[in-house]
Copies of this chain bind each other. A is one copy, B any other.
Amino acid sequence: MSLSTKPLSGMRQRLPGEFRIEKFVTETLCLSSVRAGFEEYDGPVIEPLGLFAAKSGSELVGRQSYCFKDRGGREVILRPEMTPSLARMVAAQGELQLPVRWFSTPLCYRYERPQRGRVREFLQFNLDILGSENLAAELEVILVLQGIMKSFKAPSSIYRIGWSSRRFMSDALARCGVTKELTGGVFSAIDKRDKMKADAWADFLLGACGGNSVVARQVISLVSVEFLSDPWLMDLMSGSSAFQEVVEFNELLQGVGIPSAVFSPGVVRGLDYYTGIVFELMDTGGENNRSLCGGGRYDNLVGLFGNKKISGVGFGLGVLTLTLFLETYKLIPDSVREAAPADVYIAVASSDATAAAGLLAASIRDEGIRVMMDVSGKKLGKQFSEASRYGIPFVVTVGPDEVETGEYKMKNLSDGKIFTGSLAEITGRLK
């Protein structure tokens, strides 16, 4: 019986044409980060289970994880996200110059039901600043996010950066009458608002509020607020330092001018470790109705690894979700999709010219030119067809005559013209 030609469901497999598109996306992410002075790092895929059990939330670890015992009996997990590993790396470095600005594009794993834009093995771009408690850090990561969208030529009309604050929301929920014991559950309920139908969600929220309909109605008012200057909100939050911080951050965003950034109290993000400003990036078109990116401030993560208290702020962005978004708005350039694998093809007229063809190929490659050499041993006509199907613009033929004279013929496949010259002349022409 033969083996299946399919990978396991939800796994990442990329043929060259698909890989080119993915690499265009990840390299653009990388370039935007490098331009902002961020440095690339990576951590292990296999991590101790305890690293995520502490702070990532029970859904991620308890129900969606790839975890197992390794041959040494250790309880391990394939990382479902990057931030805990990042926090550990920063905590371990005694001599690190803080703040650090780091980014990475790790492979991550979650056992979920595969569907459009959601797979089990995925690349998640991460960008973080650790070691600054200043709101300038939040501003900077959102500036980088805006720079990323600009690099992809995405107009600000097609996406929205919704933002709020966990600290502000904790205070606001308390002022709405949510008790301390119920706060976690109400956060979860708010996080699920966009994933449920309106009436089902209202019931769900009522349950999270311990059945108290007065409190639930207050919470609904809160998450429906659209402006920081809303009189009901200003009255509710009178004297709150957390609200003051939100107002201050809003002024920073206005000052820089980020048209896509919108204050949205309903944005709370699912991960347990966020403590301050949180934000997410959504497609406003609605075709890709999941968030492309989520992030925020996490104050207590590095402290898990010892006594050092280092605050962080950052975001994670799904490469596949972003790619689907770019495809929807036709923002993947045709040049990426249709790239030819070489600039010139070396056709081998007969097998006794193979070594000479190899020598020629190596010389031209040394000049930085992409050379595909025939290895099929087929007739010349078929070799020309192969070059043509690949979209390679030139073919140089090598046979015993060329070896003897040192003169080569190079055909331009688009106009059929032939250029004859020495190796140096051919190379010069290709350059």
Contact = CB atoms under 8 A, between A and B. Distances in A.
A136 B232 CA distance: 78
A92 interface: yes
B11 A44 contact: yes
A102 B121 CA distance: 22
Interface string A96-129: 0101011000010101000000001100000001
A102 B20 CA distance: 12
A336 interface: no
Interface stretch (A137-145, A173-181, A238-246): A137-145
A312 to B, nearest CB: 12
A424 B92 CA distance: 42
A377 B136 contact: yes
Interface string A10-48: 011111100110010000000000111111111111111
Contacts of A91: 5
Given A13-B42, A14-B42, A371 B36 contact: yes
B3 A51 contact: yes
B355 A256 contact: yes
A418 interface: no
Interface stretch (A67-75, A192-200, A278-286, A287-295): A67-75
A13 B42 CA distance: 6
A89 interface: yes
A99 B376 contact: yes
Contacts of A36: 361, 365, 370-373
A55 B89 CA distance: 38
Contacts of A70: 66, 111
A305 to B, nearest CB: 5
A231 interface: no
A348 to B, nearest CB: 7
A8 B46 contact: yes
A294 to B, nearest CB: 20
Contacts of A40: 16, 19-20, 23
Nearest to A18: B41
A299 interface: no
B342 A37 contact: yes
A160 B42 CA distance: 32
Interface in A334-393: 341-342, 345, 348, 351, 354-359, 361-362, 365-366, 368-377, 386, 389-390, 392
18 contacts: A2-B304, A7-B47, A8-B44, A13-B43, A13-B85, A14-B41, A15-B93, A35-B369, A35-B370, A36-B361, A37-B372, A46-B109, A71-B111, A97-B386, A134-B377, A139-B375, A140-B373, A252-B354
Interface of A: 2-8, 11-16, 19-20, 23, 34-48, 50-51, 54, 66, 68-72, 74, 76, 78, 85, 88-89, 91-93, 97, 99, 101-102, 107, 109, 111, 120-121, 129, 131-132, 134-137, 139-140, 143, 146-147, 150, 251-252, 254-257, 304-307, 341-342, 345, 348, 351, 354-359, 361-362, 365-366, 368-377, 386, 389-390, 392
